[in-house]
Copies of this chain bind each other. A is one copy, B any other.
Amino acid sequence: MKVMDIAEVAEHAGVPPSALRYYEEIGLIESVGRHGLRRQFGPETLLRLSLIALGKLAGFSLTEIARVFGPDGQPSLPRPEIRARADELDRQIQNLTTLRNLLRHVADCPEPNHLDCPKFQRLLRMAGRHGAKVGAGKRKRMPRP
C-alpha cells in the first residue's frame, strides 16, 4: 500500500472524500500525483490527517493548522505561540474536567432542583475560575455531522 486513492484515505482516516478534496484545495494536504484524473496519496497523508484531526480537536481552525505545516511540509510554529496554545489547552482541560464532574454529579444527585444543590453550586463556581470569564473558552463550535 504505497499510494492510495481517495477512497482508501477516506476509509483509513475516517474523513469523507469531499472533505479530503477540500483539504487539498486549501493546502492542508497534498496528493503525490494522479492516476488518470484520480488523486493518489502517499502514506504520510494519514499521519498528516491525524495531526489535523488532533488540531481540530484542540480548537485550531483549518487555516491555523495549515500554518503549522511549514512550506516544507513539516510542522513548525514559533515556540512561544506553541507554549501559549498549550496553556490555553490546559485551561480548556480544566473547564472540561469541571464540567464532566458537574455532569456526573447531576446524573447522580437526587436533589430535584440542581441549582439548589450546594455541591452543584460549588462545581459551577469552579467552572468560572479558569480564564477571566467562563465565556472566554470561546473558541469552540460544533458541526453537526
- Kindly list chain B residues whose C-beta atoms are within 8 Å of the C-beta of A77: 106
> 8 Å CB contacts to B: which residues of A97-111?
97-100, 102-104, 106-107
How many copies of the chain does the oligomer comprise?
2
Complex Cα spacing A57 to B93, Å: 10
A37 at the interface (CB under 8 A from B): no
Complex Cα spacing A23 to B132, Å: 22
Interface range, A side: 35 or more
> 8 Å CB contacts to B: which residues of A25-62?
47, 49-51, 53-61
A17 at the interface (CB under 8 A from B): no
Interface of A is mostly: helix
- Is there contact, CB below 8 Å, between A138 and B134? no
- Kindly list chain B residues whose C-beta atoms are within 8 Å of the C-beta of A90: 100
- Is there contact, CB below 8 Å, between B82 and A107? yes
A96 at the interface (CB under 8 A from B): yes
A7 at the interface (CB under 8 A from B): no
Name the distance in Å between A126's Cβ and chain B's nearest Cβ. 10
